[in-house]
Homo-oligomer: A and B are copies of this chain.
Amino acid sequence: MMKKTALLLPFVLMMFAFQPVKKKKVIFFGDSITQQGAAPGGYITRIDSMSKLEKLADQFEFVGKGIGGNKVYDLFLRFQPDVLDQQPDIVFVYVGINDVWHKAMGTGTDFDKFGKFYDAIIATLKKRGIQPVVCTPSVIGERNDFTNQQDGDLNLYAQWIREYAAQNSVPLVDLRKLFLDYLKTNNPENKEKDILTRDRVHLNEKGNQLVADAMWKVLKTLK
């Protein structure tokens, strides 16, 4: 018996060596920022490039599921087909900007309801054994002294996400904090845009790279 095993062992090892690693499917679930994140130069594309550079390309498969104008309840509406049916291993949820912003046009999301839909998404992911990663909403306007119209509300929704993440042991990418810290030192003229965004909201190259770096850093801890 032992001999037989001895003969088999190298073959078995060889098998493993050649067997393709099961890639982790990572879905980025969000709004127009995520939609653009999948384009060339976008943050998802950048994460993909970084994974290749670091020889980790065989470990991840990246899928962008961002749709412009989406609020948290829009994510919930397409949660089954766009996320659950795709059988991902990890899901980044990056939402909240439109929930706050669209209040100015009459169709934002009430604070309490934001939390309910958010929890419905994260709790379902966890129940299905899918790893969620939550992100705070970045910015609507880049002024660094809290004089952007929606700063108060964005801070409130971001703070809720932070507390939710802590209470539910969900990994957090605190984009809002990252952006505010970056703008504190890199926006001396206190400009509204053109530091990390093109138009106060949507990311320019630097913005996409900042998001990519932060997400990639968390992603590698989840391997």
Contact = CB atoms under 8 A, between A and B. Distances in A.
Interface of A: 73-74, 76-77, 103-110, 113, 116-117, 120, 141, 145-156, 159
A149 B153 contact: yes
A-side interface mostly:
helix
Chain multiplicity (copies): 4
Nearest to A154: B152
Most chain B CB within 10 A, of A77, A149, A156, is at A149
B76 A76 contact: yes
A113 B77 CA distance: 10
A32 to B, nearest CB: 15
Contacts of A104: 103, 105-106
Contacts of A116: 77
A202 to B, nearest CB: 19
Nearest to A113: B74
Contact of A147 (B105, B110, B141, B159): B159
Given A103-B104, A103-B107, 17 more contacts: A73-B76, A76-B77, A103-B106, A105-B105, A106-B106, A106-B108, A107-B107, A107-B110, A141-B152, A145-B155, A146-B146, A146-B152, A146-B155, A147-B152, A147-B156, A148-B156, A151-B155
